[in-house]
Structure 1
Amino acid sequence: MLCFFRGMAFVPFLLVTWSSAAFIISYVVAVLSRHVSPFLPYISDTGTTPPESGIFGFMINFSAFLGAATMYMRYKIVEKQNETCSFGTPVFNLVSLVLGFVGCVGMGIVANFQELAMPVVHDAGALLAFICGVVYTFLQSVISYKSCPQWNSHTTCHVRMVISAVSCVAVIPMIACASLISITKLEWNPNEKDYVFHVVSAICEWIVAFGFIFYFLTFIQDFQSVTLRISTEINDDF
């Protein structure tokens, strides 16, 4: 357990645990309140109706902040590693960071614009979060391979690429099936024509979401050797 608090490892660890709790708590509250079916609701379905909407919004907003902080620190780590032993272009690392930040903005949109209240805005935020998130994990996996074996083990690189590949594969049917659903609703009947599309899309959505969580879990070891220093300077020439 202490390894999670060595250096700055607590940042991705907190992101992973907090985000997992956000999904699970919102799901449990929504099911117990009988607002959604226990069987494969969309993640957004579990944060649409009060009281779970407040829990979901607050926790996902903080997850977006933690995600942005983790991505920025990862960017600085790769930047410093690249200065020590050049293995890639800085632009590649920067593009990854920008896409990650856009994905975090998408998470914020999902958290603050509920699915039934503003479906177009909510869906746009979800697309940003999932697509940019998947591309971010893929780019980070490529960077990991480029910095291997000095900064990453082959096992870590393979794990990251597998998670990234699964997420990439899952996000395609998730979007395709969701676009074929003709109505936005929380309760589904197996006899409805769009039910199969809903189930496939929901399964893929949960796979991608927890793929992100497990991906950031692999950052913990990298963050153990990182320290954060805050320097304050006061200019009295005024």
Structure 2
Amino acid sequence: MWCFLRGMAFVSFLLVTWSSAAVIISYMVAVLSGHVNPFLPHISDTGTTPPESSIFGFMINFSAFLGTATIYLRYKILEKQNETSYFSTPVLNLVSLVLGLVGCIGMGIVASFQELTMPVVHDGGALLAFVCGVMYILLQSVISYKQCPQWNSLSTCRVRMAISVVSCAAVLPMIACASLISITKLKRNPREKDCVYHLVSAICEWTAAFGFVFYFLTFVQDFQSVTLRVSIETNVDI
């Protein structure tokens, strides 16, 4: 456990554990409260009705903050490494930063606007989070290969790319099936015509969400050798 706390590794490790806890706790509370069916609800379904909506909103908003910190820290690490040994154009790093930050904004929107209260805003936030999220991790995987072997091992690059491909493959049918669901509701009858679309969309959503979680877990090793220093300067006019 101590290795996860070396350097700045605790930031990405906290993001992974907190985000996992956010969706699992919200799911458990929603199921125990009888608000959703236990078998594969959408993640947003588990954060729609009180009390789980408050838990979901708070924890996912904090996850968005941790995600922002992790993505920015990753950006600065790559920037510094690229100065030492040029391996990629800085534009790739900057584009990935923007995509990651937009994805975090989408997470904040999802957490703040419940799907039954403001469905258009909620769905827009979810689209931003998932689309920008997969684009971010795909671009990071490409950058990782460019860093290999000096800054990354080949096995790490392969793991990252595999997670990226699986997440991307999950997001596309998730969006397609979600668009075919005519009515948004928390509980569904298996006989309904939309049930298959709901099931496929939910499976893909959970796959993509935990794909992001496992991807950020691969940053832990990179962050272990990084330290953060805060410099404060004051100017006093005499």
Shift of 1:237: 2.4
Q: Which residue of 2 aligns with 1:147?
A: 147
Q: Which residue of 2 aligns with 1:157?
A: 157
Q: Which residue of 2 aligns with 1:135?
A: 135
Matched AA of 1:152: N
Q: Which residue of 1 aligns with 2:2?
A: 2
Instruction: Give unpaired runs (5+ residues) of structure 1.
Output: none
Q: Which residue of 1 aligns with 2:84?
A: 84
Q: In structure 2, what is the Cα distance between the partners aligned to 1:237 and 1:93?
A: 40
Shift of 1:74: 0.2
For 1:181-220, list aligned pairs within 5 A.
Answer: 181-220=181-220
Instruction: Give unpaired runs (5+ residues) of structure 2.
Output: none
Shift of 1:96: 0.1
Q: Which moved more, 1:27-36 or 1:228-237?
A: 228-237
What value does the CA root-mean-square deviation take over the aligned residues?
0.5
Q: Which residue of 1 aligns with 2:169?
A: 169
Q: In structure 1, what is the Cα distance between the partners aligned to 2:161 and 2:99?
A: 18
Runs of at least 4 residues off by over 2 Å? none
How high is the TM-score relative to the length of structure 1?
0.99
Q: In structure 2, what is the Cα distance between the partners aligned to 1:37 and 1:158?
A: 36
Q: In structure 2, what is the Cα distance between the partners aligned to 1:14 and 1:167?
A: 21
SS of equivalent to 2:41: coil
Q: Which residue of 1 aligns with 2:231?
A: 231
Shift of 1:123: 0.1
Q: In structure 1, what is the Cα distance between the partners aligned to 2:23 and 2:69?
A: 20
Shift of 1:72: 0.2
How high is the TM-score relative to the length of structure 2?
0.99
SS of equivalent to 2:191: coil
Q: In structure 2, what is the Cα distance between the partners aligned to 1:158 and 1:91?
A: 23
For 1:49-64, list aligned pairs within 5 A.
Answer: 49-64=49-64
Q: In structure 1, what is the Cα distance between the partners aligned to 2:27 and 2:170?
A: 21
Matched AA of 1:227: T
Q: Which residue of 2 aligns with 1:113?
A: 113
Q: Which residue of 2 aligns with 1:46?
A: 46
How high is the sequence identity, in percent, across the aligned residues? 79
Shift of 1:176: 0.1
Q: Which residue of 2 aligns with 1:24?
A: 24
Shift of 1:48: 0.1
Matched AA of 1:126: A
